[in-house]
Amino acid sequence: MSPGATGTVLPARRLREAVIAASAALVPFGLEIIIVASNMRRFGGLSTPSFAPPIWLAVPVWVGVMVLSAWAFFRVLCRPDYLPDRPGAIRAIGMMLGLGVVWCWAFFDGRHPTLGLLTGAMTAAAAGLTAWRFTIVDRKAGLLLLPSVLLILFAALIELSISVRSG
């Protein structure tokens, strides 16, 4: 990080990091919303488990989790460039967010339960890896990702139940 004359980080760099972190969370989230919204009629016809939340609850929870993910990513971006684990943490969140979009497409748009389950498992593993790598770089950032890991695991459980019920 570039310290200014007073030893503080330059505001332009913080703004750039905030824009990168917010964009990294908002772009995949926007794609997921588009995919889900275009397939709500089909999803409504599936046999969902009793523990699946109603969509009106799932959306704000997912928004909250994405905000926490962006905040965690911002914290990692604000850490010094010379930290050896920082690049790996940045790659890990990119992988996690990208797999989240692929998973959403596979389950909702692709209508392929096996591919959905596979990408769901990969997304859950990527989320766990990302939380672990974030924790190495910034402990609070890793903790901020725990709700994301738990939500991804919960969503994978719902998808598994739907796949079993729907054949």
Tens-place pLDDT, residues 97-151:
999 999 999 888 877 777 888 999 999 999 999 999 999 999 999 999 999 999 9
pLDDT computed for residue 91 by the predictor: 96
Q: Domain 11-41+53-166 falls in which CATH fold?
A: Ferritin (1.20.1260)
Global pTM value: 0.84
Question: What is the greatest pairwise CA distance in the chain?
Answer: 64
Structure tokens at 45: 């016809």
d(CA 64, CA 106) in angstroms, rounded, equals 23
Rounded to 5°, angle at Cα 9 from 5 and 13: 125
Tens-place pLDDT, residues 75-110:
999 998 888 899 999 999 999 999 999 999 988 887
d(CA 46, CA 142) in angstroms, rounded, equals 35
Domain boundaries, the chain: 11-41+53-166
d(CA 57, CA 121) in angstroms, rounded, equals 23
For residues 127 and 93, is the Cβ–Cβ distance under 8 A? Answer: no
Bridge partner residues of 9 (DSSP): 3
Tens-place pLDDT, residues 19-41:
999 999 989 988 988 888 887 77
